[in-house]
Amino acid sequence: MTDNQDYKEYISILQKAANLNYASAVLQWDQEVYMPPKGATHRARQLATLAAQAHELLTGAHLGQLLNKLASATDLTENEKANIQRSSEDFTKNSKLPAEFVETLSMQTSECFNAWIDARQKNDFSIFAPSLTKMVQLKRQQAALYGYENHPYNALLDEYEPGATVSMLDHVFEGIKQQLPLIFNKIKATPQVNDAFFYKHFPKQAQWDFSLDVLRKMGYDFEAGRQDYSEHPFTTSFSPGDVRVTTRVSENNYASLLWSTIHEGGHALYEQGLPMDQYGLPLGSAASLGIHESQSRLWENCIGRGIDFWTASYPDLRKRFPEQLTDVSATDFFKAANKVEPSLIRTEADEVSYHFHVLIRYELEKALIEGTLEVKDLAGAWNEQYQKYLGITPPDHKTGVLQDVHWSHGSFGYFPTYTLGSFYAAQFYARALADLPGLSEDIAKGDTTRLLGWLRKNIHCHGRKYYSEELCTMVTGSGLDPHYFIRYIKDKYEKVYGIQF
Residue 3 has pLDDT above 90, yes or no: no
pLDDT, tens digit (0-9, with 9 covering 90-100), for 69-81: 999 999 999 999 9
Count of CB atoms situated within 10 Å of the CB of 76: 19
In this structure, CATH architecture of domain 166-497? Orthogonal Bundle (1.10)
Give the sheet arrangement for strand 235-239, strand by strand.
227-229, 242-247, 235-239
CA distance 207 to 255: 10
Residue 2 has pLDDT above 80, yes or no: no
CA distance 228 to 214: 15
pLDDT, tens digit (0-9, with 9 covering 90-100), for 328-341: 999 999 999 999 99
CA distance 28 to 20: 12
> What percent of the chain clears pLDDT 70, i.e. is strictly above it?
100
- Predicted confidence at residue 35, as pLDDT, reads 92
Region 76-96 average pLDDT: 95
- Predicted confidence at residue 359, as pLDDT, reads 96
- Nearby residues of 152 by Cβ (< 8 Å), 6 or more positions away: 140, 143, 144, 369, 370
Domain ranges of the chain: 5-123, 166-497
Residue 167 has pLDDT above 80, yes or no: yes
Region 88-105 average pLDDT: 92
Region 7-22 average pLDDT: 96
Model confidence at 64, pLDDT cuts 50, 70, 90, reads very high
| First-to-last C-alpha distance (Å) of the chain | 54
pLDDT, tens digit (0-9, with 9 covering 90-100), for 385-410: 999 999 999 999 999 999 999 999 99
Region 417-434 average pLDDT: 97
pLDDT, tens digit (0-9, with 9 covering 90-100), for 345-369: 998 899 999 999 999 999 999 999 9
Q: What mean pLDDT value characterizes the chain?
A: 95
- Predicted confidence at residue 41, as pLDDT, reads 84
Region 185-210 average pLDDT: 96
CA distance 437 to 66: 48
Q: Which of 73, 72, 60, 52 is nearest to 2 (CA)?
A: 73
Q: Is 450 exposed, middle or buried (0-12, 13-18, 19+ CB in 10 A)?
A: middle
pTM metric for this prediction: 0.89
Cα angle at 485 between 273 and 195, to 5 degrees? 90
Region 40-60 average pLDDT: 90
pLDDT, tens digit (0-9, with 9 covering 90-100), for 271-306: 999 999 999 999 999 999 999 999 999 999 999 999
- Residues labelled as active-site residues: 264
- Read off the DSSP letter of residue 189: T
Give the chain's largest Cα–Cα span.
69
- Predicted confidence at residue 37, as pLDDT, reads 87
Model confidence at 478, pLDDT cuts 50, 70, 90, reads very high
Model confidence at 40, pLDDT cuts 50, 70, 90, reads confident
- Predicted confidence at residue 440, as pLDDT, reads 97
Model confidence at 256, pLDDT cuts 50, 70, 90, reads confident
pLDDT, tens digit (0-9, with 9 covering 90-100), for 243-253: 999 999 999 99
Region 161-170 average pLDDT: 91
Residue 44 has pLDDT above 90, yes or no: no
pLDDT, tens digit (0-9, with 9 covering 90-100), for 18-37: 999 999 999 988 988 889 98
Cα angle at 163 between 91 and 401, to 5 degrees? 100
Strands (E) across 190-287 are located at 227-229, 235-239, 242-247
pLDDT, tens digit (0-9, with 9 covering 90-100), for 215-227: 999 999 999 999 9
- Predicted confidence at residue 87, as pLDDT, reads 97
Region 168-172 average pLDDT: 90
Model confidence at 163, pLDDT cuts 50, 70, 90, reads confident
